[in-house]
Amino acid sequence: MRAVLAPFGRGPSGGRPSRNLVLDYRDDLRIFPDRWARIGLVLLAFLYLWLPSQQVSDAGLRTLSTIGIFAIGAIGLNLLTGYTGQVSLGHAFFIGVGSYTAAYLGAELGWPFLVYVPAAALIGVGLGVVIGPFALRLRGHYLVIVTLGLIFLGRHIFNNWTSVTGGNRGTQIRGADMSIGPLDFSGLELFGTTYSREQSMFFLVWALVALTALLAKNLVRSRMGRAMQAVRDRDLSAEIIGVDLARTKVGAFAWSSAFACVAGVLSALQIRFAGADDFGLFLSITYVAIIIIGGVGTIFGAIVGSIFVVGSEELINQNSRSDWLGPLVSTGPTDAGWLSVGELNAILFGAFIVGFLLFEPRGLAALWFRAKAWFLTWPFSY
Amino acid sequence: MMQKRWRRLLAVFLASMLVLGACGGRDDDDGDAAPPDDDTPTDTADNGDDTDDTDDTDDTEPPGDPEPAPGFDGETIRLGVLTPTSGTVAVIGNPLTAGNQAYVDYLNEELGGIAGQYPVELVVEDSAYDPTTAGQRYAAISDDVVAFVQILGTPVVNALLPDLIEDNVIAGPASLDSAWIREPNLMPIGGPYQVQAINAVDWYFSQPENEGQVLCTLASDDEYGDTGVAGVEFAADNLGIDIAVQAEYPAPSPTRPAQTFESQIGQLEGGDCDVIFFVATPTDTAPLNTVLTENTDYNPTVLGQSPSWLGLFAGFEYLQENFFLASEGTNYGDESVPGMAELVRIKETYAPEQEPDLYFNFGYLQAMAMHQILEEAVARGDLSRDGMVDAMENVGTLSFDGVFGDYEYGPADERQPPTSSSFFRPDPDSPMGLDLVERDYEADYVGDFTFE
């Protein structure tokens, strides 16, 4: 390509094409391929530091932190389902393991944050390595049913391993360390300013979202990531050309469950409670919905999907008494209105899943990529 | 080269943003005195410094009007309600909230609000019976309410307790778990589940015709199920009888398949159980009735814990013959009990379309309890978070005019809940579908049960 462009001489653009063309393989692998991506990064950094200031209430920050926690878990599921093609309904089990790890190692035993978070991730890796081999013998619906079994197995363990999980009553998470060096995220103090718990939590969660997104993005750009995608697209062909199927599938399970466990830790630190009922099938379905709506097989889609699924619920809640939603939504048994907030959320949740599967199977991320391509290729349509 | 320059620029930008961001900190201590809005009337009397936390309010001058505080703008007192208005548990949440609302309407319309001058407003949020959702809804409204008159569900209350403690907000748990008694930020009412179970077992075996019967339990596999079973075990120990079978079933959840109880009933029948103490929510009472109706060879008596009941069950033949409900108070409409006569009047006036309902009654009584605490707080001139906790500790005895037993309040470790229970039978011709069998029954040893 470069050779083809050479005869065009050195114009004002220094001999480069006027548009951001992919000229070699390395261009395809860049995380921040052009100036706009870098500007976007700077804008995100600005938002990260600006949002927790007085502009957003603690309630809003709590929602944003919840979105971040779901994003980390969804990135993990996207590695497994979106990139490797291994459909799993057992994700909630790993979230639960992470939550109880935080409760026991962090709150009960008083381990430091920088020890129990990696420990939770390692436990996730270990569990992923144990469960991964099932994917070698099973695929499709059969694998879904096996991973579904994890939910019920997990529920039994969570309800009965009382010394760790608190049994049926669940366990409260009070006093767990949340320090990284001098930064204590249970109540950050910086430059003589004290931040609320919600502000501090926002900083912690979204820093970890950035870290896990970067980690996942680098993973899918690596040999391992290419192997994962090859397995997803045609596992038999992948094996024939030399991809180690066992290592790839087990590795995907290990990475996915490690991310889920980290999300579970953060969830426990935010809610400050872990109960077996919270890690059921509905949570797993929520994660699947997030990656479908956001975009299967994209890191970006996991984050966008979390914003959409968690954020839309909150948006409906906040506007349930507004003029435009008020007549439709009832906020209590004595209030006029057809649907409760929860019922409307459930209907929209289902409708969006069906809608995206029918009209935009690649999710919100595809809409973004299409819009970006239109601007990049303008005035041409190709 | 370009990469390095970008990194340097980014580093400089982030550092400057951090310094700027430091201007946006806010600690968790929101303060208990929210500054009044410009349009808020500030005709409050100057009551001098309010550092006096002692209980003797009769020394020098009486406290003045309470200062504005979170949830109180100087005129209206706002109370939070976190309850499922959707999902399977909404059958409990909706009548509970209707009970809260009916009492508040009566309070505003007929009494002019708290102390005759501060109307009360409810802020209802759908918790979906889910701790994560409840946490978000709590965060959304906690700064805008003086207290929570109702939070429904043991798991939800458990999950919100750290927040309630940290924010020093008081809340009424719509659950009779004994764990709430010693929590300084909770406002429990009624005899706990364990007390219901102790009294029910003792009452049943005190009937001569029931002597020697085999006792068993059937409980949901969750913390609510554990509370009932703990009471049964305590009663059985004191009576010197064994619990032959302790059957469990999965607790209700949005994704649990419909419960059939066939295996559990097989287990109980195999253990020759004559009487089953049943710890459940209404979702599971109907299928239990179905399986027992179909099994004509096995007809055990069922003692149900109060949350297992809905009025429509009164039409079930098997339950009419073989079911007793452990609850509290008296028949709906019993004019001999002043509180009940008043409850009926208020329901007919402010919630005429509401069917008589146990949960409606409970919600009404929760609001009645909160009313007494708010009166105390206003009398002390302090509706702040700390003021509400002080008021709750100093309110003395919460009275429910005979509808529920009186509850001795004070510091959390000195509270004494009511220890009597009442027993009802299904009766389709009675309001609520229940007819009183025995009122205010109390086992001799119920006071020995330790509320930890």
Check whether A375 has a pLDDT greater than 80: no
Q: Which residues from A are below 8 Å from B351, CB to CB?
A: 334
- The most distant pair of C-alpha atoms in chain A lies apart, rounded to whole Å, by 77
Pair of tokens at residue B169: 């907000």
Mean pLDDT, chain A, as a whole number? 85
Q: What is the pLDDT of residue A358?
A: 86
How many angstroms separate the CA atoms of A251 and A243, rounded?
Answer: 13
Check whether B75 has a pLDDT greater than 80: yes
Q: Which residues from B are below 8 Å from A191, CB to CB?
A: 18-19, 22
Least confident range from A241-245, B28-32, B80-84: namely B28-32
Long-range interactions of A37-41: CB distance < 8 A, separation 24+: A38/B6, A41/B10
Residue A91 touches partner B, C-beta closer than 8 Å: no
How many angstroms separate the CA atoms of A220 and A58, rounded?
Answer: 35
Q: Which residues from B are below 8 Å from A195, CB to CB?
A: 25-27
Pair of tokens at residue B264: 């559990």
Chain A nearest-CA residue for B162: A272
Check whether A6 has a pLDDT greater than 80: no
Least confident range from A257-261, B2-6, B111-115: namely B2-6
**CB-nearest partner of B18 from A49, A331, A334:** A49
> Which is it for the CA torsion A247, A251, A254, A256, positive or negative?
negative
Q: What is the pLDDT confidence band of residue A331, given thresholds at 50, 70 and 90?
A: low
> Are the beta carbons of A195 and B84 separated by less than 8 Å?
no
Check whether B292 has a pLDDT greater than 80: yes
Q: What is the pLDDT of residue B6?
A: 55
**CB-nearest partner of A54 from B24, B128, B225:** B24
Query: Do the bridges between strand B147-152 and strand B421-426 make them parallel or antiparallel, or are there none, so unpaired?
Result: unpaired
Nearest CA to CA, how far is B121 from chain A (Å)?
A: 13
Q: What is the pLDDT of residue B404?
A: 92
Least confident range from A11-25, A216-230, B175-189: namely A11-25
> Are the beta carbons of B27 and A275 separated by less than 8 Å?
no
Average pLDDT over residues B106-134: 92
Average pLDDT over residues A339-346: 76
Average pLDDT over residues B87-112: 92
Chain B nearest-CA residue for A41: B10
Q: What is the pLDDT of residue A304?
A: 93
What pLDDT digit, counting tens, does each position of B15-71 carry? 555 555 555 666 554 444 343 333 333 333 333 333 344 444 445 566 778 999 999
Interface of B with A in 165-204 (CB under 8 A): 166, 179
Q: What is the pLDDT of residue A382?
A: 61
Side chain identity at residue B112, one-letter code: G
Residue A281 touches partner B, C-beta closer than 8 Å: yes
Q: What is the pLDDT of residue A15?
A: 62
Query: Are the CB atoms for A124 and A79 separated by under 8 Å?
Result: no
**CB-nearest partner of A280 from B124, B140, B255:** B255
Q: Number of helices and strands (H, E) in chain A? A: 16, 8
pTM above 0.75, yes or no: yes
Output A112 or A377, whichever has higher pLDDT.
A112
Interface of A with B in 306-365 (CB under 8 A): 313-314, 317-318, 330-335, 339-343, 346
- In percent, how much of chain B has pLDDT > 90? 65
What pLDDT digit, counting tens, does each position of B319-350 carry? 999 999 999 989 888 888 999 999 999 999 99
Side chain identity at residue A255, one-letter code: W
How many angstroms separate the CA atoms of A9 and A266, rounded?
Answer: 55
Average pLDDT over residues B392-418: 93
Q: What is the pLDDT of residue A191?
A: 79
Check whether B384 has a pLDDT greater than 70: yes
Q: What is the pLDDT of residue B47?
A: 36
Q: What is the pLDDT of residue B131?
A: 83
Least confident range from A126-140, A201-215, B138-152: namely A126-140
Residue B6 touches partner A, C-beta closer than 8 Å: yes
What pLDDT digit, counting tens, does each position of A280-290 carry? 888 999 999 99
Q: What is the pLDDT of residue B341?
A: 94
> Are the beta carbons of B18 and A169 separated by less than 8 Å?
no
Q: What is the pLDDT confidence band of residue A31, given thresholds at 50, 70 and 90?
A: confident
Least confident range from A95-109, B44-58, B143-157, B284-298: namely B44-58
Check whether A30 has a pLDDT greater than 90: no
How many angstroms separate the CA atoms of B24 and A295, rounded?
Answer: 35
Closest by CA to A200, choosing from A180, A210, A190, A185, is A185
- In percent, how much of chain A has pLDDT > 70? 90
Q: Which residues from A are below 8 Å from B91, CB to CB?
A: none
Q: What is the pLDDT confidence band of residue A187, given thresholds at 50, 70 and 90?
A: confident
Q: What is the pLDDT of residue B62?
A: 66
Instruction: Find all residues with CB under 8 Å of B290, minimum gap 6, and list them.
Output: none
| Count of other CB atoms within 10 angstroms of residue B138 | 27
Query: Are the CB atoms for A303 and A108 separated by under 8 Å?
Result: no
Output B249 or A10, whichever has higher pLDDT.
B249
Top mean-pLDDT range of A192-196, A335-339, B104-108 = B104-108
Least confident range from B18-27, B106-115, B427-436: namely B18-27
Q: Which residues from B are below 8 Å from A335, CB to CB?
A: 124
Q: What is the pLDDT of residue B14?
A: 52
> Are the beta carbons of B24 and A196 separated by less than 8 Å?
no
Least confident range from B84-93, B242-251, B316-325: namely B84-93
Q: Which residues pair with B416 in a beta bridge?
A: B408
Residue A103 touches partner B, C-beta closer than 8 Å: no
Nearest CA to CA, how far is A104 from chain B (Å)?
A: 16
Nearest CA to CA, how far is B13 from chain A (Å)?
A: 8
Query: Coil, helix or strand for B278?
Result: strand
Check whether A276 has a pLDDT greater than 80: yes
Q: What is the pLDDT of residue B57?
A: 44
Check whether B195 has a pLDDT greater than 80: yes
Which of B223, B224, B360 to mutate: most A Cβ within 10 Å? B223
**CB-nearest partner of B136 from A62, A159, A278:** A62
Q: What is the pLDDT of residue B23?
A: 54
Average pLDDT over residues B274-288: 93
Query: Are the CB atoms for B324 and B434 separated by under 8 Å?
Result: no
Beta-carbon-side half-sphere exposure of residue B154 (alpha carbons within 13 Å):
25
Residue B254 touches partner A, C-beta closer than 8 Å: yes
Check whether B424 has a pLDDT greater than 70: yes
Q: What is the pLDDT of residue B10?
A: 54
Q: What is the pLDDT of residue A352?
A: 81
Check whether B196 has a pLDDT greater than 70: yes
Query: Are the CB atoms for B44 and B33 separated by under 8 Å?
Result: no
Chain A nearest-CA residue for B249: A156
Q: What is the pLDDT of residue B311?
A: 86
Report, in this order, helix, strand and coil percent for chain B, each rounded to 5: 45, 15, 40
**Cα-Cα-Cα-Cα dihedral of B304, B309, B315, B320, to 10°?**
20
Q: What is the pLDDT of residue B249?
A: 92
Least confident range from A28-37, A146-155, A187-196, B370-379: namely A28-37
Residue B207 touches partner A, C-beta closer than 8 Å: no
Q: What is the pLDDT of residue B38?
A: 38
Output A51 or A301, whichever has higher pLDDT.
A301
How many angstroms separate the CA atoms of B383 and B171, rounded?
Answer: 14
Chain B nearest-CA residue for A46: B17
Question: Residue B294 burial by CB count (10 A; 0-12/13-18/19+): exposed, middle or buried?
Answer: exposed
Interface of A with B in 27-66 (CB under 8 A): 38, 41-42, 45-46, 49-50, 52-55, 57-59, 62-63, 66
Which of B23, B126, B129 to mutate: most A Cβ within 10 Å? B126
Q: What is the pLDDT confidence band of residue A16, given thresholds at 50, 70 and 90?
A: low
What pLDDT digit, counting tens, does each position of A97-149 carry? 999 999 999 999 999 999 999 999 999 999 999 988 877 777 778 888 888 88
Average pLDDT over residues A161-186: 89
Pair of tokens at residue B176: 């009779």
Q: What is the pLDDT confidence band of residue A10, given thresholds at 50, 70 and 90?
A: low
Q: What is the pLDDT of residue A138?
A: 75
Residue B84 touches partner A, C-beta closer than 8 Å: yes
**CB-nearest partner of B23 from A53, A167, A331:** A53
Q: What is the pLDDT of residue B43?
A: 36
Concatenated DSSP letters of A226-254: HHHHHHHHHHHHHHHTT--HHHHHHHHHH
Pair of tokens at residue A349: 């949740």
**CB-nearest partner of A332 from B27, B124, B254:** B124
Chain B nearest-CA residue for A169: B223
Query: Are the CB atoms for B145 and B121 separated by under 8 Å?
Result: no
Q: What is the pLDDT confidence band of residue A18, given thresholds at 50, 70 and 90?
A: low
Q: Which residues from A are below 8 Å from B101, CB to CB?
A: 332-334
Q: What is the pLDDT confidence band of residue B290, given thresholds at 50, 70 and 90?
A: very high
Nearest CA to CA, how far is A36 from chain B (Å)?
A: 12
Report the Cα B83 to chain-centroid distance in Å: 10
Which of A178, A273, A343 to mutate: most B Cβ within 10 Å? A273
Beta-carbon-side half-sphere exposure of residue A218 (alpha carbons within 13 Å):
6
Top mean-pLDDT range of A265-269, B51-55, B411-415 = A265-269
Average pLDDT over residues A186-208: 89
> Are the beta carbons of B97 and A191 separated by less than 8 Å?
no
How many angstroms separate the CA atoms of A188 and A61, rounded?
Answer: 15
How many angstroms separate the CA atoms of A257 and A121, rounded?
Answer: 8
**CB-nearest partner of A50 from B9, B21, B86:** B21
Query: Are the CB atoms for B125 and A59 separated by under 8 Å?
Result: no
Residue B11 touches partner A, C-beta closer than 8 Å: no
For tokens 């935080």, the residue is: A102
Q: What is the pLDDT of residue B12?
A: 54
| Axis-axis angle for helices B385-394, B358-379 (nearest 10) | 100
How many angstroms separate the CA atoms of B242 and B215, rounded?
Answer: 7
Give phi and psi for B182, each to the nearest 5: -95, 10
Q: Which residues pair with A243 in a beta bridge?
A: none
**CB-nearest partner of B26 from A49, A54, A277:** A54
> Are the beta carbons of B86 and A333 separated by less than 8 Å?
no
Closest by CA to B279, choosing from B242, B318, B244, B252, is B252
Report the Cα B338 to chain-centroid distance in Å: 23
Mean pLDDT, chain B, as a whole number? 86
Q: What is the pLDDT of residue B56?
A: 44
Q: What is the pLDDT of residue B241?
A: 95
Q: What is the pLDDT of residue A377?
A: 72
> Are the beta carbons of A273 and B158 separated by less than 8 Å?
yes
Interface of B with A in 367-386 (CB under 8 A): none
Residue A172 touches partner B, C-beta closer than 8 Å: yes
What pLDDT digit, counting tens, does each position of A63-89 carry? 899 999 999 999 999 999 999 999 889
Closest by CA to B338, choosing from B399, B419, B420, B247, is B399
Q: Which residues from B are below 8 Å from A170, CB to CB?
A: 155, 158-159, 223
Output B171 or A4, whichever has higher pLDDT.
B171
**CB-nearest partner of B161 from A62, A172, A275:** A172
How many angstroms separate the CA atoms of B310 and A28, rounded?
Answer: 63
